[in-house]
Amino acid sequence: MSVCVICSCLLVPLYISLVHYMCFLTAPVGPMRFTNRPWQDKMCVNCASINILSVKIACSDIDFPIQVYGTVVARDCIDYKCVYLFRRDNDHCQLISSNEESLILTGPKRGLALWYDADYVQTDLWVKDRQGHCKQFSKGIVRIPGNQVFDKCEPETVSLATRLSTVDVTYDVVECAVEATVAAEVTQGEFYGAMTAHTTRSKRRIVLFDSQVGGDKCHGLIQLMRPVVSVSVMDKLKIFATTAAGVSTGVEVTPRWNGGHEFVLTLGDATICVKVTWSMVDPRL
């Protein structure tokens, strides 16, 4: 399902301060808030969440390829402050060659809560031409409605149309969500490839790490680009490691309200220790 939205700040509910939308205050709430807290039934709020699958330049009045920089942030009902999805300055632009290519996402840093109120994705993207001149490319807000009916498992897309571009934000809604924070370390050998994750209900893979972006073989701790995935407690999380040659191995993990799992992936001479830390997704601070 695709919804086209031409956004302005007038679409933001009146009870949310416009100051939060006009300035980029980073959300102070991080991941793993409830990992070490003993779980009780009364703690569960049955909160939904969203996984941002991609942010694409669906249409551009400037011919591809384009050099893109700026920010894309999510704002959820926990505090409506900035949870960065994409953040680059004009010295580190991403080259986008076509409308099929997503921005390289590096967030969110925690599970995004989707409660009765809506969540928002806000863009402030710029392009830089060959002469080094910069031009605003996409600025606005799209709304992801809360209190949704979970009658399907298909990704949703909302679109932000501005003067020079249309940006598509594709996401999955996750019911009864918990937050999975992934960490990985190469304990033997070296690893060059990618790590991805998806749930058994949604086959769209989330890129946790890609050596083609970092450019180096990994030894020791792997700096994951986006380590957080939201998973339904009625679902399973699958994590895969794939070499540049296409050799792949993976594991399926059952979600928990708190605590964690550790497991080992072996790819040829490389041994990767993966840790998944679980926490509730709770809209209450």
Task: Give the distance, in angstroms, between the CA of residue 150 and the centroid of all CA atoms in the same chain.
Answer: 20
How confident is the model at residue 152, as a pLDDT?
A: 63
CA distance 257 to 39: 7
Lowest mean pLDDT among 12-21, 167-176, 190-199: 12-21
In tens, the pLDDT along 44-71 reads 567 899 999 999 999 999 999 999 999 9
The residue that leads in pLDDT, 40 or 21, is 40
pLDDT-based confidence at residue 29 (cuts at 50, 70, 90): confident
pLDDT greater than 50 at residue 9: no
Q: What is the structure's pLDDT at 218?
A: 78
Q: What is the pLDDT of residue 54?
A: 97
pLDDT at residue 111 greater than cutoff 90: yes
* pLDDT for residue 52: 97
pLDDT for residue 107 = 92
93-121 average pLDDT score = 93
**Three-state DSSP class for residue 67:** strand
- Provide the token pair at 219: 């030894």
**Would you say residue 15 has pLDDT above 50?**
no
E-strand ranges in the chain read 2-5, 48-60, 66-75, 83-88, 94-96, 112-114, 119-128, 134-144, 156-161, 165-174, 177-191, 193-199, 206-210, 218-222, 228-232, 237-243, 248-253, 260-267, 270-280
Mean pLDDT of all residues in 188-192? 94
The domains found in the chain, sorted by start residue, are 2-30+48-174 (2.60.40), 178-280 (2.60.40)
pLDDT winner (highest mean) among 19-28, 31-40, 151-160, 220-229: 220-229
**Cα–Cα dist 188/220, whole Å:** 8
The 10 Å CB-count burial string (b at 16+, else e) for 27-48 is beeebbbbbeeeeeeeeeeebb
What integer pLDDT is reported at residue 154 of this predicted model?
84
Cα–Cα distance, 144 to 9 (Å, whole number)? 15
Q: What's the average model confidence in pLDDT over 192-207?
A: 93
Confidence (pLDDT) at 14? 40
> Is the per-residue pLDDT at 102 higher than 90?
yes
Q: pLDDT for 80-91, tens place per residue?
A: 889 999 999 999
Q: Which band of pLDDT confidence, cut at 50, 70 and 90, is reported for residue 134?
A: very high
Does residue 16 register a pLDDT over 60? no
